Amino acid sequence: MKQPIIQSKLRIPVVKDEFIRRAMLTRKLKAIPEYPLTLLHSGAGFGKSTALALFLRDEKLPGCWYSISSMDDDILTFLSYLVKTIQEMDPSFGIELSSYINNLDRYIREEELGILCSLFINEILECKHEITIILDDFHQIEHSYTINSWMEKLLEHIPPNLHMVISSRSRPGWRFLTKMKVCGQLLEITREDLVLTLEEMELLLTDLYGLEIEPEYLQSIYEITEGWIIALCMIATQIPLQKDKPKIFKHSSQSLQDFFQYLVMEVFSKQPPMIQQFLEQTSIFEEMEEEICDEVIGIPGSSTLLNQIIDRNLFIQKIGPAQFRYHALFKEFLEDIFQKNNPSAYIALHERCARYYERKQLWEKALYHYKKINHHKAICSILQENGLRMLENGKLESLYDQLTILSEAEMEPYYILWYLKAEIYRYRSHYQDAEECYDKAFAGAKKNQDHLGMSIALKGKAQIYLDTIQPHQAERLLYEAIFHREKCTESHGEKGKLYQLLSENLLNSGKAKEAEKWIQKAKEAKASDPDGNLEARLYLRTGRFEAAKKTLFINREELKASNINTLPQSHRETDLLLSLIEAFNGEGLKAKELAQAGIQQGISYKAPFVEACGWIRMGHAVQILNKYDSSLAENCYQTALEIMEQLHIDRGKAEPLMGLCILYGTRGELERALEAGRKALQETEKVHDVWLSALITLCLGIVCIYTERRHKAQDFFGKAAALFEQCEDSYGQMLGKFWLAYLFYLEKKNDWFKKMINEFLNLVQIHDYEFFFHKRSVFSPRDLQIYVPLLNECMKEDIQSPYVRKILQDMGITAFDSHPGYSIRVRTLGQFKLWIGEKEVGERDWQREKAKELFQLLITVNELMAKEEIIALLWPHQDKKSADRDFKVALNCLHNVLEPNRKARAAPFFIIREGMFYGLNPHAVIEMDTTLFKELIEDGLNEVHPDKVIPILERGLAFYQGDYLPDRRYDDWCISKRESMAVYFLRGAEKMAQLMVRREKYDAAINWCQKILERDRIWEEAYRLLMYCYYRKNNRPQAMRWYKKCTEVLEEELGVTPLEPTKHMYQMIIESERILNSIEQP
């Protein structure tokens, strides 16, 4: 049921004309139209709402007001009010946005938040005028992840015609605030701006309260209240009633809060009995209007009393034509004394109020009042009837808060409550607690011979094992649930949902054909699959990736266009499934983005199992992208394992252990890899998950290939092939055929090789897996050059030659002769290192130093060089004959290092000769750290989005481990390249330091500046940034020392003085030091 809009929350509060205008505060408030964002934040009672309301009225500024309550913490409720308040000014606003909101689930996903924000921004931009939105009491919803996330997205792209004003008791933690502050886009009004000065306090007492106070008492009041407006107003109401003025100040030694309690009691005690009674009774309402006062309290014409209270300045606020609310502190006080002085009336009124809301079908408000008086039986009754609806609407927080206050004895007659509690636990991945609650729900239903209740409880318990992919455990429960459901007379659709779950369980067991039959049976029973993505998972587990992606995208669009509500889906979340598909397809960047979305979903849902699955998929993506740095992927897998350990879900450890198995294998850590793989297999075999067992077994075979345990590899590949056949996964079968073909190629078992490679190529073409040759994926070779010698062999043996020729040409291979089957990787920044394939070349492998120097020359020049030119650079002092001989020896040694297994008389691959010219083969894959370093630094310098710049630059700068080829520092042929790389480092590090300064991370900025000066002591921007950082850290002496150092170095090295900006920085520091010293003088 859609919640109605309470119009009074959209009205600017009425403020008395006599209220004082404060020059300093007004001056600040007048700047609101100049800023995209204004923050007013201070504790209660400092007059934030009053100041804003008065300012809007005096300036005749058209503002869209929204007084937020604690029940607005749902993003859709929040946006509905936001749209409505703007429509008060512009009735055409929000048509598209409102339509989208009305069709959304209660559970909002990250991409849907982006759409909601984009629609809002676009509609704001369509308005032809400035819009000022005031969100009053934002602290009421500051705990809401989705609202905060939406606000951050809005602030990142805030339209130029929008001005957001946020009034709150605390400063929001939005990540863009620092940037907005630095860029002059944020106006902040704090407690210091809101407290009254002595003069303002005197004016308030005189103009608003008509009081003339002696100077000594005025000073005492100021010292006691510290400019706190609400405390001052309390004193003002007491002074005319006190004959002995000093009596008011007797509590001045206590805290302000205690003093407020004393004052409010003094105010309250002076009211007529009827007003006192009315104040107490109405304190139970969040908001008051005549209807609820008349009906609940039973006083006709209560609006007269409400107006009397306003006339008496009793901390009540008119928030609409006939709506009122008390100041929060005053309400708290009134409710407290009402409960103490008349507990029976307090209980009776809350009960009547709850029943009033029940009649209005406002269940959450009714529950709030029953909770206040601990009327647990009424809470149980409401939840029994309406709890499922609340659950479907995503009200997990509200529902859980109510259920946690109920005892087991109170819940026993209402066994559906155990089911609700179990569902909440399951959605939050607290599976052990969920199982206990499902058992209690089943016991209650069984005691009452309620077959539907028993079926629901069994279905819920089975879903624990579906969520965690334990098909053996789920099977019995599902058949039992179907047995009880068939004894009921409900619709076939309910049975269909159970059939659907059974088909999912069969899929988890690796029985794809049976699963497909049950899916059809579920469709015939008219069961929908709004949130399980079941068919997509069937396609995924049988290797039909494009069909899986298409189904997922269609499901997502249908959900957006429908009114169906969804709740957390464990490992079935669309982004998690898409991430896995992209990892299998070799689309690392897409897989990473989707994994990140999955992690965020888990955090926002408070579902750690979903978050853990996101970390697993992130590990797969990172392992594909970061070919040579596996530590990040390892951290992702370990994070997932830690979460699974905390949740006590051993089955959830299988996939991250599989990831670690192949990761350790590629590092050559055989024992660690085998241990991880065997642990993973134990979990999947325990629960009979054939598909994942097949993938893990395949990984163990790949590990054995990498670590040259080929006899073991064949056993693992054989077992994996049988399992893939069993679960009918064509992708897995393709993987198995490839690795067996590669193994037989290495073993020179030609007949078996030809058989396997032919079957492999058939599967690639039939199922469109050609990406396997061109993109690194989770189960592909790390080095894609492995394929080339196998495909060359196919050409020789005439195995599907036309198709093989096309693949080789797509890979850039035009000559179908010898190929080493690997790429080479070179590190030149810092210590020189070379890898051929996965093996690092040791110093002894070079045999001759000149062979290494020749290779370093060729990669530096990176174009064909004449033999005479090479000799002139490397053997400048030798005669032609001996130099020619040494060149041949060095070249032959270099060939042996790069291609140790090259056949006799076969042409070298990596170093080619054209006539008398020598150089690198342009068709060879040679990965240079300088290439990646340069590309990343250029990308970082050109990137305009600050959040993207830092990770790009961090990745690039990490490559710079030192000067280019430091062991050749005295050779002229590499000076230009060394200086070029150093300049890239300096520019990148300077940009990083500047970004750290903008984020006020001064220690990080200092660190980067010092790294710059280690490389180039005359880089003046580094000195300027160091001066500013120490100035901002209030370490002015250190800032001045860096200026002195700068002037000395520039004079010594270049004979110049610092640039004008550096001098201006120094003058600013000197001036601030002079001002500070003058303040500190006695």
* Residue 241 and residue 104 share a domain: no
Domain annotation covers residue 138: yes
pLDDT, residue 105, reads 54
Each residue of 1027-1079: pLDDT tens digit? 989 888 888 889 999 999 999 999 999 999 998 888 888 887 887 656 545 44
* Residue 50 and residue 152 share a domain: yes
Region 286-294: what's the mean pLDDT?
Answer: 84
* Residue 170 and residue 124 share a domain: yes
* Residue 100 and residue 16 share a domain: yes
Domain annotation covers residue 122: yes
Region 231-250: what's the mean pLDDT?
Answer: 59
* Residue 1012 and residue 950 share a domain: yes
pLDDT, residue 82, reads 94
Each residue of 349-400: pLDDT tens digit? 999 999 999 998 888 889 989 999 999 999 999 998 888 888 877 677 778 8
Structure-token pair, residue 276: 């006192």
Region 431-456: what's the mean pLDDT?
Answer: 92
Taking residue 809's Cβ as centre, other Cβ atoms within 10 Å add up to 11
Which residue would you say has higher pLDDT here, 231 or 623?
623
> Is residue 931 over pLDDT 90?
yes
- Banded pLDDT at 763 (limits 50, 70, 90): very high
- Banded pLDDT at 509 (limits 50, 70, 90): confident
Give the list of residues 6+ apart from residue 445 with CB closer than 8 angstroms, or none: 415, 451, 452, 453, 454, 456, 457
User: Are 165 and 32 contacting, i.e. CB atoms less than 8 angstroms apart?
Assistant: yes
867 to each of 541, 582, 860, 975, how far by Cα in Å?
57, 48, 16, 21
What are the beta bridge partners of residue 133? 64, 164
Distance CA 109, CA 13 (A): 35
Return the exposure string of 664-698: e unless at least 16 CB atoms fall within 10 Å of the residue's CB, then b. bbbbebbebbbebbebbbebbeebbbbbbbbbbbb
Whole-number percent of the chain with pLDDT over 90 = 48
Each residue of 194-229: pLDDT tens digit? 888 777 777 777 766 677 777 777 777 776 666 677
> Is residue 712 over pLDDT 90?
yes
CATH number for the domain including 895? 1.10.10.10
Domain annotation covers residue 404: no
pLDDT, residue 2, reads 55
Domain that holds residue 671: 659-728
Which residue would you say has higher pLDDT here, 146 or 231?
146
Domain annotation covers residue 576: yes
HEC sequence for 809-866: HHCCCCCCCCCCCCCEEEECECCCEEEECCEECCCHHHCCHHHHHHHHHHHHHCCCEE
Domain annotation covers residue 382: no
- Banded pLDDT at 106 (limits 50, 70, 90): low
* Residue 299 and residue 329 share a domain: yes
Domain annotation covers residue 281: yes
Region 546-574: what's the mean pLDDT?
Answer: 76
* Residue 14 and residue 156 share a domain: yes
Cα three-residue angle 232-238-241, rounded to 5 degrees: 160
Burial class (CB in 10 A: 0-12, 13-18, 19+), 188: middle
The answer to whether the pTM exceeds 0.75 is: no
131 to each of 91, 93, 159, 174, 335, how far by Cα in Å?
13, 11, 10, 22, 38
Nearest to 317 by CA among 589, 730, 12: 12
Alpha-helical (H) ranges within 902-1035 are 929-942, 946-958, 975-998, 1002-1015, 1020-1032
Domain annotation covers residue 862: yes
- Banded pLDDT at 568 (limits 50, 70, 90): low
> Is residue 264 over pLDDT 70?
no
> Is residue 297 over pLDDT 70?
yes
* Residue 963 and residue 982 share a domain: yes
* Residue 987 and residue 1029 share a domain: yes
Distance CA 938, CA 952 (A): 9
Distance CA 79, CA 102 (A): 11
Give the list of residues 6+ apart from residue 722 with CB closer than 8 angstroms, or none: none
CATH number for the domain including 62? 3.40.50.300
pLDDT, residue 274, reads 84
* Residue 222 and residue 85 share a domain: no
Burial class (CB in 10 A: 0-12, 13-18, 19+), 1044: exposed
pLDDT, residue 1076, reads 47
Exposure of 931 in the CB half-sphere (CA atoms within 13 A): 9
Using the 3D structure, point to which of 924, 950, 966 is the last residue of a domain: 924
Structure-token pair, residue 51: 């100041």
3-class SS of residue 283: coil
* Residue 133 and residue 40 share a domain: yes
Residue with tokens 């590309």: 935
User: Are 1025 and 994 contacting, i.e. CB atoms less than 8 angstroms apart?
Assistant: yes
pLDDT, residue 315, reads 65
Quote the crossing angle between the two packed helices 145-156 and 110-126, to the nearest 10°: 50
Distance CA 725, CA 583 (A): 22
User: Are 928 and 828 contacting, i.e. CB atoms less than 8 angstroms apart?
Assistant: yes
Using the 3D structure, point to which of 649, 667, 694 is the last residue of a domain: 649
Each residue of 952-991: pLDDT tens digit? 999 899 999 999 999 998 899 999 999 999 999 999 999 9
What's the N-to-C CA distance of the chain in angstroms? 69
> Is residue 863 over pLDDT 50?
yes
* Dihedral, CA of residue 352, residue 353, residue 356 and residue 358, to nearest 10: -100
911-914, strands of its sheet edge to edge: 865-866, 917-920, 911-914
Nearest to 288 by CA among 701, 6, 670, 705: 6
Distance CA 160, CA 125 (A): 8
Each residue of 112-144: pLDDT tens digit? 788 889 999 999 998 888 999 999 999 888 877
Q: Which amino acid is at 1071?
A: E
DSSP category for residue 669: -
Distance CA 402, CA 380 (A): 9
- Number of domains making up the chain: 7
pLDDT, residue 3, reads 63
User: Are 551 and 533 contacting, i.e. CB atoms less than 8 angstroms apart?
Assistant: yes
Nearest to 122 by CA among 84, 86, 157: 157
3-class SS of residue 103: coil
* Residue 220 and residue 190 share a domain: no
Which residue would you say has higher pLDDT here, 240 or 1021?
1021
Nearest to 593 by CA among 565, 571, 627, 624: 624
pLDDT, residue 253, reads 41
Region 432-458: what's the mean pLDDT?
Answer: 92
Alpha-helical (H) ranges within 747-797 are 750-767, 771-774, 787-797
HEC sequence for 818-834: CCCCCCEEEECECCCEE
3-class SS of residue 920: strand
pLDDT, residue 251, reads 45
Average per-residue pLDDT in the chain?
A: 86
Distance CA 119, CA 126 (A): 11
Using the 3D structure, point to which of 901, 924, 947 is the last residue of a domain: 924
Q: Which amino acid is at 151?
A: M
Q: Cα–chain-centroid distance for residue 787? A: 38
Residue with tokens 């058209």: 62
Burial class (CB in 10 A: 0-12, 13-18, 19+), 405: exposed
Structure-token pair, residue 504: 């999912």
Whole-number percent of the chain with pLDDT over 70 = 90
Structure-token pair, residue 938: 């250029």
Structure-token pair, residue 954: 């961090």
> Of 505-514, 792-801, 951-960, which gets the smallest average pLDDT?
505-514
- Banded pLDDT at 233 (limits 50, 70, 90): confident
Distance CA 36, CA 39 (A): 10
pLDDT, residue 895, reads 94
Domain annotation covers residue 163: yes
